[in-house]
């Protein structure tokens, strides 16, 4: 599941919503492999910044950390970034409805003319196209139902064609996307999923708790029987034009 990057030597890359750093490692590795450059690691929480700093420090990588909402990117100068990478972050940013468009607009400002935006997101669950993708859709749907019932902010998923149109409206050019598939073995995702569901349901009323426990057991049974699920996702590329199009 790796991006194909443009030439990153001497470039400044901003990674949005880095979290525990699964994609940050990939981006940092690509910059080092290209001969070195600058990586600004962003997240709204700084919980994982110290560990990432320790892990990623490298003589040819200039590392910066920016704790700020992607909507603001506080303190980051306009036209200062060559590449913005957003890996499964847009769905979290849009947990507060409308924020994804604001963030995409802010990315446009901080990009240099000619800079690029790379986005990776899952397809919306209603686009599950075959039985192998049903388990993926079912587990998400149950999790989100529990998040809604307990008053949390569930992730939002973007249909790629809609995201492409939003990017074009914001002034991005050369907007393109590609569908991809990944397989995830049940033993890799099931334990953390069960933990998440247990956390979400712990304070529910008895009847709701019973319903969600039964549904979670059904997902667990299917996951153990099938052994893996197929996750449909996509990558979007977009550019900031070299010059004003007016
Ligand atoms: C699903 S995780 C993705 C983590 C990582 N990019 C990966 O691929 O594993 C989403 C991340 O976005 C962060 N996030 C949520 N809202 C944000 C916002 N408004 N601005 C910046 N980061 C945000 C969360 O704290 C979380 O670390």
Distance from residue 15's CA to the centre of ligand 1 (Å): 10
Residue 49 CA to ligand 1 centre (angstroms) = 13
Residue among 91, 241, 225, 105 nearest 169 (CA): 105
Residues 235 and 126: their CA atoms lie apart, in Å, by 18
Residue 149 CB partners (closer than 8 Å, separation 6+): 204, 208
> What spacing in Å lies between the alpha carbon of 180 and ligand 1's midpoint?
21
Coil, helix or strand for 139? helix
In a domain, 96, yes or no: yes
Of 120, 110, 81, the C-alpha closest to 3 is: 120
Return the CA Rg of the chain: 19
Name all residues whose Cβ lies below 6 A of ligand 1: 16-19, 22-23, 42-45, 69-71, 87-89, 92-93, 99
Phi, psi of 167 (to 5 degrees): -60, -40
Q: CATH number, domain at 91?
A: 3.40.50.150
Q: Tell me, what's the pLDDT at 125? A: 93
Q: Is residue 4 part of a domain?
A: no
Nearest CA to ligand 1 atom 11: 17
For residue 215, tell me if it sits in a domain: yes
Instruction: Render pLDDT for 217-240 as a digit per residue (tens, 0 to 9).
Output: 999 999 999 898 899 999 999 999
Distance 78 CA to ligand 1 centre (A): 22
Q: Quote the pLDDT of residue 66.
A: 98
Take atom 14 of ligand 1 and give the residue whose Cα is closest. Answer: 17
Ligand 1 centre to CA of 43 (Å) is 6
* pLDDT at site 245: 61
The pLDDT profile of the chain, 246 residues, written as one tens digit per residue, is 566 788 899 999 999 999 999 999 999 999 999 999 999 999 999 999 999 999 999 999 999 999 999 999 999 999 999 999 999 999 999 999 999 999 999 999 999 999 999 999 999 999 998 888 999 999 999 999 999 999 999 999 999 999 999 999 999 999 999 999 999 999 999 999 999 999 999 999 999 999 999 999 999 999 999 898 899 999 999 999 987 766
> Ligand 1 centre and the CA of 116: distance in Å?
20
pLDDT at 6: 83
Whether the Cβ atoms of residue 38 and residue 13 lie closer than 8 Å to each other: yes
In tens, the pLDDT along 198-214 reads: 999 999 999 999 999 99
Give the domain range for residue 195: 68-239
Closest ligand 1 atom number to CA of residue 48:
27
pLDDT of residue 131: 83
Count: domains in the chain: 1
Answer yes or no: is 42 within a domain.
Answer: no
* Sign of the C-alpha dihedral computed for residues 120, 125, 130 and 136 taken in this order: positive
Which atom in ligand 1 lies closest to the alpha carbon of residue 45? Answer: 25
The verdict on residue 17 lying in a domain is no
Output the pLDDT for position 246. Answer: 60
Residue 46 counted as domain residue: no
């Amino acid at each position: 599941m790796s991006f194909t990057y443009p030439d990153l030597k001497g470039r400044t890359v901003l990674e949005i919503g880095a979290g525990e750093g699964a994609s940050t490692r990939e981006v940092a590795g690509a910059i080092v492999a290209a001969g070195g450059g600058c990586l600004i690691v962003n997240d709204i929480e700084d919980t994982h910044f110290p560990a990432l700093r320790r892990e990623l420090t490298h003589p040819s990588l200039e590392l910066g950390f920016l704790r700020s909402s992607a909507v603001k990117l506080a303190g980051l100068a306009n036209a200062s970034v060559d590449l913005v990478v957003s890996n499964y972050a847009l769905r979290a940013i849009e947990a507060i409805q409308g924020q994804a468009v604001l963030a995409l607009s802010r990315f446009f400002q901080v990009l240099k003319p000619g800079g690029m935006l790379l986005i990776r997101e899952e397809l919306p669950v209603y686009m599950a196209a075959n039985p192998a993708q049903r388990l993926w859709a079912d587990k998400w749907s149950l999790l989100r139902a529990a998040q809604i019932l307990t008053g949390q902010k569930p992730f939002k998923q973007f249909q790629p064609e809609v995201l492409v149109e939003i990017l074009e409206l914001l002034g991005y050019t050369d907007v393109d996307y590609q569908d991809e598939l990944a397989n995830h073995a049940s033993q890799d995702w099931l334990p953390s999923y069960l933990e998440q569901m247990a956390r979400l349901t712990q304070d529910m009323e008895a009847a709701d708790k019973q319903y969600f426990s039964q549904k979670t057991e059904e997902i667990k049974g299917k996951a153990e029987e099938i052994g893996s699920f197929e996750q449909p996702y996509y990558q979007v590329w977009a550019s900031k034009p070299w010059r004003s199009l007016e």
